[in-house]
């Protein structure tokens, strides 16, 4: 605890302390009664008591019999009694010129004066005096009475000092143990209350010195004890530039030098901002504020929390006003409570206020849609991303994507719907145009497929006749023309094949081909396909092999499609291999996802595929020009058809190849859910 010697402040503090009782007041009352007795016993019209203060200056404490106020100025008569040390009797002051001018005696109109020393513990403590307007004297027994009365005054004073000491110690206990910071500032010089308030504030800042504070206050600033804050100034503690401080101080002055729960923003010894709630009272003496006394509690945590809340509210409101989504809050009965600017804009209103009136149902093109969403909100406490056609102020409509949450009261009942709407008109338009484009594309593909089917029929009919006549010619024409007729037949055959492929591809592209799943043994099917190539292999001296598990490889697939896939791959392998072998390997494998798969590998030791051509190998009408194939005629459609068929059966196809060394085509197909039954 630190105590700076501030007379006025300390005295005021005591006067304002805990129980509010002022010990000096009861002393003055007792002295008043004593003077009354003295006047009565010693037959004098006036009596006075001076008590020495801490500076040993006599202060008038009580007066009896005066008409008007007894003067409080220094008294020569009082000084003379203090000097004698016992009793001083002046029969007629006129005979003593120094005393005749004493302003107290003059004010009393006194000719006679008698005073006795009040002594406490052997030391002068004051003077008890009798005055009379006429000259007279005191008998020795009367002088004894006066001395006794002075002793009683001394007793009264000693009792009063004890009470004051007790009072002080109680105040000290409170002061030291309080969790609140308690402080006082003295103004040296005091601040005249007659000045304009802004000037008073300026003077107060200039002249305030911390006179007393407790350790609790020092700890609020990060110090250990009150001594660390010695003689601190107000400007350092409550900097007037910090937000709100000047206003807080001004409010204190304007409210008559009092303030309760006024908040100040201050800084601790490390420069951290702290917020305090203060109760302050100013002590005014003779038209001057001599000191302020106050208590403070640290509300920094609360202040931070409130500040954070304030900032997040600001952020929220700034987001609400700046985003393009509409944000709203409405009641379950359909009244709009809040809408942001974007909402007003989206619905074609000039201001938010303008759109607040009326039921929200007017925003829905189909009121049943709102009823449906309300029912869902009641049941599920919200919904997400629902498409709704809304109505603008001018009656035009737009598509919005709406999401909604609810807030509940303590009983779990819905209080508000809180939602957001984004305008998806553009997206909707785009989606609709895409759907339209897809429908058109499908229709075109259907038309194309029908056209190709018609055309191929139209071409095939005369082609059949051409090939028939070529056959007859090959049999019957002279030998030199037979070869030509044979060529016509072969070209016709190849043309029929191409036509067939074009037709298949068109069907696959037009999605008119529906796979027809059936249960069969894939090994058996592969054997049948390979049998078609046996003769050719023999003639060309190629090794054609089939490797498959011993047990049947049952699958649930479209047999025609699988046969076509195998035929295409084996025919290519045969076509592009001049020596070596063509091997077909069938295996049951498990996919990464755990599905049962049929794996078919067609390996050859033929021409291989160059790296450059690899990306085009499955494209329509693409053939490698420098192919080493001995019999490279074809349409470039086989692999394109194969790839589509594999995809149709839910499988994958891959190729590995090295130019001049051969190729491996790997097909993986799901064996079908029901393959085992």
Helix, strand, or coil (residue 583): strand
Q: Which of 129, 562, 609, 646 binds ligand ADP (CB under 6 A)?
A: 609
Q: Check residue 645 for interaction with ligand ADP (CB under 6 A).
A: no
The burial class, CB within 10 Å (0-12 / 13-18 / 19+), for 316 is exposed
Closer to ligand ADP by Cβ: residue 492 or 580 = 580
Q: How far is the CB of 581 from ligand ADP (least distance, A)?
A: 12
Measured from the CB atom, is 53 or 631 closer to ligand ADP? 631
Cβ-based nearer residue to ligand ADP, 523 or 572: 572
Residue 45 or 630 having the CB closest to ligand ADP: 630
Residues 273-302 within binding reach of ligand ADP (CB under 6 A): none
Applying CB under 6 A, which of residues 624, 668, 669, 675 lies at the interface with ligand ADP? 624
The one-character DSSP state at 605 is: -
For ligand ADP, the nearest residue by Cβ is 634
Find the shortest distance in angstroms from Cβ 586 to ligand ADP. Answer: 18
355 with 347: CB under 8 angstroms? Answer: yes
Q: Which of 218, 542, 562, 607 binds ligand ADP (CB under 6 A)?
A: 607
The verdict on 605 binding ligand ADP (CB under 6 A) reads no
Burial of 637 (0-12, 13-18, 19+ CB in 10 A): buried
In the three-class reduction of DSSP (H, G, I as helix; E, B as strand; rest coil), residue 636 is classed as coil
Among 294, 638, 651, 672, binds ligand ADP (CB under 6 A): 638
Helix (H, G, I), strand (E, B) or coil at 102: coil
Nearest approach, Cβ of 534 to ligand ADP (angstroms)? Answer: 18
In the bound state with ligand ADP, the residue whose beta carbon lies nearer, of 41 and 585, is 585
Q: Measured in whole angstroms, how far is the alpha carbon of residue 275 from the centre of its chain?
A: 23
- Which residue's entry shows tokens 């394109």? 640
Q: Which region, judged by CB under 6 A, interacts with ligand ADP, from 23-31, 162-170, 521-529, 623-631?
A: 623-631
Distance, CA of 44 to CA of 112 (rounded, Å):
10
Q: 38 by DSSP, 3-state: which?
A: helix
Applying CB under 6 A, among 564, 636, 656, 666 the residue interacting with ligand ADP is: 636
Cβ burial, residue 564 (10 Å; 0-12/13-18/19+): middle
Q: Find the shortest distance in angstroms from Cβ 370 to ligand ADP.
A: 58
- Residue 476 to residues 365, 470, 488: CA-CA distances in angstroms? 82, 10, 15
> In terms of CB distance, is 382 or 636 closer to ligand ADP?
636
- Binding ligand ADP by CB under 6 A: which of 279, 486, 623, 666? 623
Given candidates 290, 617, 649, 669, which one binds ligand ADP under the rule CB under 6 A?
Answer: 617
Integer Cα distance of 215 and 217 in angstroms: 5
In the bound complex, what is the minimum distance in angstroms from residue 633's beta carbon to ligand ADP? 8
Judged by CB under 6 A, which stretch of 105-113, 216-224, 462-470, 630-638 contacts ligand ADP? 630-638
Give the binding range for ligand ADP (CB under 6 A) out of 16-24, 358-366, 629-637, 646-654: 629-637
- The label of the residue with tokens 């000191």 reads 291
**Residue 663 within binding range of ligand ADP, rule CB under 6 A:** yes
Taking the complex as a whole, the smallest distance from the CB of residue 384 to ligand ADP amounts, in Å, to 48
Between 79 and 620, name the residue whose CB sits nearer to ligand ADP: 620
What would the 3-class secondary structure string for 166-234 be? HHHHHHHHHHHHCCCEEEEEEEEEEEECCCCHHHHHHHHHHHEEEEEECHHHHHHCCCCCHHHHCCCEH
Cα distances (Å, whole numbers) of residue 530 to 452, 535, 630: 31, 10, 20
The rounded distance, in Å, linking the Cα atoms of 508 and 304 is 70
Whole-angstrom distance, CA of residue 106 vs CA of residue 111? 9
Identified binder of ligand ADP from the candidate list 627, 648, 656, 666, rule CB under 6 A: 627
Structure tokens, 90: 């002046």
Stretch that binds ligand ADP, among 150-158, 279-287, 292-300, 631-639 (CB under 6 A): 631-639
Restricted to residues 560-589, the positions that interact with ligand ADP (CB under 6 A) are 572-573, 576
Residue 634 engages ligand ADP in binding (rule: CB under 6 A): yes
Report yes or no: 103 and 83 within 8 Å, Cβ to Cβ: no
Size of the site for ligand ADP (CB under 6 A): 21
Among 153, 265, 388, 637, binds ligand ADP (CB under 6 A): 637
Structure tokens at 649: 């059966």
Joined tokens for residue 540:
């060309």
- Going by the DSSP 8-state scheme, the letter that residue 71 receives in this structure is P
The verdict on whether omega for the bond into residue 160 sits within 30 degrees of 0, i.e. cis, is no
Closer residue to ligand ADP in complex, CB, 46/570: 570
Stretch that binds ligand ADP, among 30-38, 334-342, 401-409, 637-645 (CB under 6 A): 637-645
What is the spatial distance between Cα 65 and Cα 589, in angstroms, rounded to a whole number?
128
Least distance from C-beta 645 to ligand ADP, angstroms?
Answer: 12
Do 8 and 186 touch, CB atoms closer than 8 A? yes
Instruction: Give least dist CB 674 to ligand ADP, A.
Output: 32
Cβ proximity to ligand ADP, 343 vs 639, nearer residue: 639
Residues of this chain that bind ligand ADP (CB under 6 A) = 572-573, 576, 604, 606-609, 617, 622-624, 627, 634-640, 663
């Amino acid at each position: 605890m630190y105590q700076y010697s501030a007379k006025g402040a300390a005295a005021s503090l005591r006067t304002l302390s805990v129980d509010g009782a002022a010990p000096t007041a009861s002393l003055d009352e007792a002295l008043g009664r004593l003077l009354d007795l003295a006047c009565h016993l010693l037959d004098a019209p006036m009596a006075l008591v001076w008590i020495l203060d801490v500076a040993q200056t006599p202060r008038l404490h009580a007066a009896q019999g005066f008409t008007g106020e007894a003067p409080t100025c220094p008294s020569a008569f009082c000084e003379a009694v203090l000097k004698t040390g016992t009793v001083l009797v002046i029969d007629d002051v006129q005979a003593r010129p120094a005393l005749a001018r004493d302003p107290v005696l003059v004010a009393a109109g006194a000719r006679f004066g008698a005073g006795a020393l009040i002594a406490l513990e052997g030391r002068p403590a004051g003077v008890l005096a009798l005055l009379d307007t006429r000259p007279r004297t005191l008998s020795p027994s009367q002088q004894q009475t006066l001395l006794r009365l002075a002793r009683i005054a001394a007793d009264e004073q000693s009792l009063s000092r004890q009470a004051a000491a007790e009072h002080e110690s109680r105040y000290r206990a409170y002061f030291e143990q309080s969790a609140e910071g308690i402080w006082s500032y003295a103004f040296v010089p005091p601040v005249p209350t007659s000045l304009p308030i802004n000037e008073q504030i300026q003077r107060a800042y200039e002249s305030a010195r911390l006179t007393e504070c407790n350790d609790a206050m020092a700890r609020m600033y990060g110090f250990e004890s009150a001594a660390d804050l010695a003689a601190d100034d107000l400007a350092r503690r409550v900097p007037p530039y910090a937000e709100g401080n000047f206003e807080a101080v001004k409010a204190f002055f304007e409210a008559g030098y009092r303030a309760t729960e006024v908040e100040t923003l201050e800084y601790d010894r490390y420069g951290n901002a702290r917020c305090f709630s203060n109760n302050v009272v100013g002590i005014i003496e003779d038209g001057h504020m001599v000191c302020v006394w106050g208590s403070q509690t640290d509300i920094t945590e609360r202040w931070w929390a409130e500040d954070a809340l304030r900032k997040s509210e600001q952020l929220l409101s700034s987001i609400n006003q700046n985003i393009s989504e509409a944000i709203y809050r409405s009641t379950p009965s359909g009244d709009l409570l809040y809408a942001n600017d974007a909402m007003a804009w989206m619905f074609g209103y000039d201001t938010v206020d303008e759109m607040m009136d009326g039921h929200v149902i007017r925003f829905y093109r189909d009121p049943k849609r709102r009823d449906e969403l309300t029912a869902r909100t009641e049941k599920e406490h919200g919904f997400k991303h629902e498409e709704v056609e809304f109505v603008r102020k001018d009656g035009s409509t737009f598509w919005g994507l709406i999401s909604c949450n609810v807030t509940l009261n303590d009983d779990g009942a819905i209080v508000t719907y809180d939602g957001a709407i984004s305008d998806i008109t553009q997206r909707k338009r785009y989606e609709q145009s895409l759907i339209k484009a897809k429908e058109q594309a499908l229709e075109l593909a259907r038309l194309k497929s029908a056209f190709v089917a018609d055309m191929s029929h139209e071409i095939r009919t005369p082609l059949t006749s051409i090939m028939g006549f070529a056959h007859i010619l090959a049999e019957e024409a002279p030998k030199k023309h037979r070869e030509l007729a044979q060529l016509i037949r072969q070209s016709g055959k190849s043309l029929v094949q191409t036509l067939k492929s074009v037709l298949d591809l068109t069907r696959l592209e037009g999605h008119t081909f529906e796979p027809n799943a059936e249960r069969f043994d894939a090994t058996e099917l592969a054997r049948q396909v390979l049998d078609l190539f046996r003769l050719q292999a023999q003639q060309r001296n190629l090794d054609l092999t089939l490797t498959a598990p011993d047990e049947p490889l049952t699958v649930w697939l479209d047999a025609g499609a699988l046969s076509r896939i195998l035929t295409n791959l084996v025919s290519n392998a045969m076509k592009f291999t001049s020596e070596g072998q063509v091997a077909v390997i069938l295996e049951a494998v498990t996919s990464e996802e755990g599905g049962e798969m049929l794996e078919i590998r067609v390996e050859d030791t033929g021409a291989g595929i160059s790296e450059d051509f690899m990306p085009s190998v499955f494209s329509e009408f693409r053939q490698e020009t420098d192919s080493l194939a001995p019999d490279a005629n074809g349409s470039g459609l086989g692999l394109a058809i194969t790839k589509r068929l594999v995809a149709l059966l839910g499988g994958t196809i891959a190729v590995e190849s090295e130019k001049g060394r051969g190729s491996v085509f790997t097909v993986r197909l799901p064996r079908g859910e029901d393959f085992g039954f």
